[in-house]
Every structure is written in C-alpha cells, then in structure tokens.
Structure 1
Amino acid sequence: MKTMIVIPARYASSRFPGKPLSPIRGATGVAKSLIERTWRAAMAVQGVDRVVVATDDDRILEECRRIGANAMMTPTDCENGTERCAYVAKHFPEYDLFVNFQGDAPLTPPAFCHALIDAFSDEYVDVATPALRCSLEALGKLKADRAEGRVGGTTVVFDHDGDALYFSKEVIPYTAGEPDPSAEVPVFHHVGLYGYRRAALTRYASTIQGTLEAHEGLEQLRFLEGGQSIRCVQIESEEAFWELNNPTDTGIIETVLADRGVE
C-alpha cells in the first residue's frame, strides 16, 4: 500500500490558541515550534511515501515553508483532523493508506506508526489506532487533569478482538481507590494516531456528526456511531508519551525531550 502521513494543524483552539506555533525547548534549550517538532517526529517513520501538513491558517503554512515541510491548505469548515485527512485524500488518489499524525504529539515514537500500519495487513481492518497501557505515573496524570478540571488525554476500552467499544476524555474504566502497584493498570491511554483506508475516509466525510462526538469532542466517535469498527493496536513502550493538550503540558514535553537528548 502507498502510505501518506497527514499532520492536521489548526491555529484556532479554545484551550490553546496558536498551539502549532507554540515554542518547545529541547535538550540544548533551543526552542522550535510544536509543528516543527511534530513534523520531524513524523519524518522519522520508515516506509512512508509522503508527509503532508494539512492546515487552514497562513501562519502555519508559512512556518511549514520555513522548515521545509510539505503543506497544503484545507477548508476552514473542516471540523476536525479526520475531515482534513479526507480532504487531502481526495487530492492524492494514488495513495491507499493515510495516517493521521496528531499535530500536538511530538513525542510519538516511530514504532507506534509502524505497529499501526502493520495492522492493515488484516484486510478486514479499515480504521486503526494505538492504545498504550497506562503506567501508574500516566494514570496519575490523567486523574490529576480531571480532578483539576482540565481536559487531558483520552482513554479507550475495547473488546476481546481489540475493536474499540468507547473513547472518552474521562478516565475509563473507572478504578476505585489506590491502584495495586503489583497489578497491570486496566486503563489504556488512547494515542491520538489513526490509520484509515481511503474508503473509510470517504464514508466519514459524508457522515454527519453524532451526539457522542458532539459531547466528548472526539472525532473518532463518528466512526463508532456510524457502525464502523476501529481496531485498537496494543503497543508497548518504555518511552514516556504525552500530548500537548494544555499550556501546562509544555513542561512535561520539554522534560522528556531533554531526557532523550533531543535538540
């Protein structure tokens, strides 16, 4: 399959306006924009034919030109990143598989993308996304965000076949009391990375937003509400993973970049 990574990036955001251009410092203290760090993370993925930033803002487009990233403008009425991917897919009919690489996730390891792409060796998989079992530390961060009224990471629950049952910005499944440090944490952090076959994107673009998507603000729920299955790819990682959901996440990401020695 011919594969493209699409990085959706919009300037407007209720929680973090201008987020793609936000400066993120690396190990040497040098700041690079979030979109540059994310683009560099996507470019590190092997076996991909093209990486494109999809944006609706001239400022982001100009930043992409400055760093040498391929970019294209998408309509301002695209409601989410998946709709931006669908728009890009229409303009590149020679590609079969599209990977939605979240513009706020510069810590995404290439291995996550490789595992996601491998899932499409199953001909019955049309949409896939990774799920990372939470460490006790990650679970604590998720719960702290909710306790303090912040919308942080997303969690997912799935069936015995690995197909998603539900995604939420709440921490699911509910876990009472203090977790047992000797037991596996039953909560999976949904890594905001998606793979789609072309046909799945075409269907998505012609489907209206449902109630669950509207309430949760999670674009992938449109697939579930429309009866489309999403395969959750369980991934293992010793590397810290976190998205830039709020300005307070900047320090977390900068600490990880410094620990990894990323300039």
Structure 2
Amino acid sequence: MSVLIAIPARYASTRYPGKPLVGLRGAGGKSKSLIQRSWEAAISVNGVDQVVVATDDERIANAARAFGAEVAMTSTDCANGTERCAETLSNLGRDFDVIVNLQGDAPLTPAWFVEDLIAGLRENPDADVATPVLRTDGRALNGFLADRRAGRVGGTTAVFGTDNNALYFSKEVIPYTGQTFADTDETPVFHHVGVYAYRPDALRAYATWPAGPLENLEGLEQLRFLERGVPMLCVEVEARGRQFWELNNPEDVPRIEAMMQDMGLD
C-alpha cells in the first residue's frame, strides 16, 4: 500500500503556544525542536512513500525546511490535525492508499507503533480509520491520575469492544478502576497513542462534517468519526521497553527529557 505520513503542526496552541519549536534535550545533551524529533520519528517508519510537515505557520515551516523536511502549507482554517491532513492530501495532488497522521507532539513514537497501525488497516479491509492503543503500566497510569488531580489534561485514554472498535476516547482516565497499581503492574487502562491512519475517502468525508458535541466537549478530533457512526479500529501496540508520552503542557518537557535520558535516546 502507498503510505503518506503527514505531521500536522500549529504554532497557536491554546495550552502551549509555540510548542512545535520547543527544544527537547536528549540523552547525549543535544537539544532538538519537538517538530524535528517528531519528523525523525516519522522518517524511521518502514514502508512509507512520503513524509511531510503540514503547517500554517512560516516559523514552523522554516524550521522544518532547515532540518531537511518537506513542508506542505495549509490554511489557518483547519480546526485540528485531521482536517490539516485532509487539506494536505488535497494539496499534494496525488492519492495514497493510507494517510497517517503522526501528530507533531509525539516525539517518542516508536516506528513499530506506526508500522503495526498500517498493518492493522492492511489486515482489516473493512476498516476505514485506525489508531494505536497502548496498555498502561502503573507508572503511566499513576502519571495520568496525578495530572488530573493537579487539574492538568495529560494523555488520552481509550475503551474498545471485543471487535477492537473504539467505544470512546476521553481526557479523563477511563475506565474507572478504584485500584492502586505499582509502577510495573499491568493495568486495564489503555493510553491512546495520538496517531491515526485513514483511507482517503474517510479522510475526505471527515473534512466535510461539522464538529459534534462530544468532540467539542472533549477537544478530541477522533470523536467526530464515532459521532458519525464510523468505526475506528484500535490496534494494540507493545511498548517493548520504551516509555511513551506526548508533549501537551510545559510540564511535559522535563518528563519527556527524563524519559529520553532513561532510554538513552539522543
């Protein structure tokens, strides 16, 4: 299958303006911007035909071109990354079997998360949209709970049925467990990894629909598919010893840098 990875990135983030250009220091002491680290994660994925940074901001575009990325300029009207991916697909003027949205705030995304996601669509021809989910250990779950107690929105959690189709996504920690977990314990809570794979017709349709009430309440773009009755396949991925976290708030910078130190990632 032909595959495009688009990395949507905007400067005017409500929670963290200028986030794509924030520096993250790796284990070797070198600082690279969030958007560069996300691009490096994307180009490490096998079986991809094209990788582009999709942005409406010249500061991000110039920074991306400086480290060698291809840039697709989009309008300021895109409400979220999925809409930006849809516009990017249209602007590129060619079609792909699969378009992957690797959001520009996920620099710790291992290549196999995306490879397994693409394989999930390949193995499920009836699925039009797919996204990875990662079972949390106690350390990750306790981090989610600590963020919520502090009034911060951290990662997103997912629940899905026996057919692996999503039932719901939330910035609250779902399902409720009422249990205490040690850092190394396996838990029943799944971290939604902020990556999506779409077939082109589903992506184009998304851009024509208005946001629904659940999307507006949660601020989660993927809920537009569920509110329209479009199944979203949840593909469980394995950590393989890697820690994973997105950069949502300024407080996440030292957390991600500490993870890179622990994992020896430059």
Shorter-chain TM-score above 0.5: yes
Deviation at 1:175, TM superposition (A): 1.4
Match of 1:250 among 249, 253, 258: 253
Q: Which aligned pairs between 1:92-103 and structure 2 lie closer than 5 A?
A: 92=92, 93-103=94-104
Partner of 2:139: 137
Partner of 1:261: 264
Deviation at 1:180, TM superposition (A): 7.5
Q: Which aligned pairs between 1:1-263 and structure 2 lie closer than 5 A?
A: 1-92=1-92, 93-121=94-122, 122-179=124-181, 184-237=186-239, 238-263=241-266
Structure 1 residues 147, 81: CA separation in 2 closer, same or farther (over 3 Å shift)?
A: same
1: CA distance, partners of 2:23 / 2:184: 39
- Number of matched residues? 263
Q: Which runs of 4+ in 1 moved over 6 A?
A: 180-183
Residues 154-212 of structure 1: per-residue CA shift (max 9 Å, x gap): 00000000000000000000111424789741100000000000010011011110000
2: CA distance, partners of 1:158 / 1:148: 27
2: CA distance, partners of 1:183 / 1:67: 40
Q: Which moved more, 1:91-100 or 1:209-218?
A: 91-100
2: CA distance, partners of 1:114 / 1:215: 31
Residues 36-61 of structure 1: per-residue CA shift (max 9 Å, x gap): 11101111001100100000101000
1: CA distance, partners of 2:221 / 2:184: 35
Residues 15-34 of structure 1: per-residue CA shift (max 9 Å, x gap): 11000000111112221111
Does the residue aligned with 1:52 lie in a helix, a strand or coil? strand
Which one-letter code corresponds to 1:248 in the other structure? Answer: E
Q: Sequence identity of aligned pairs in percent?
A: 56
2: CA distance, partners of 1:138 / 1:216: 21
Calculate the TM-score normalised by the size of structure 2: 0.96
1: CA distance, partners of 2:246 / 2:182: 26
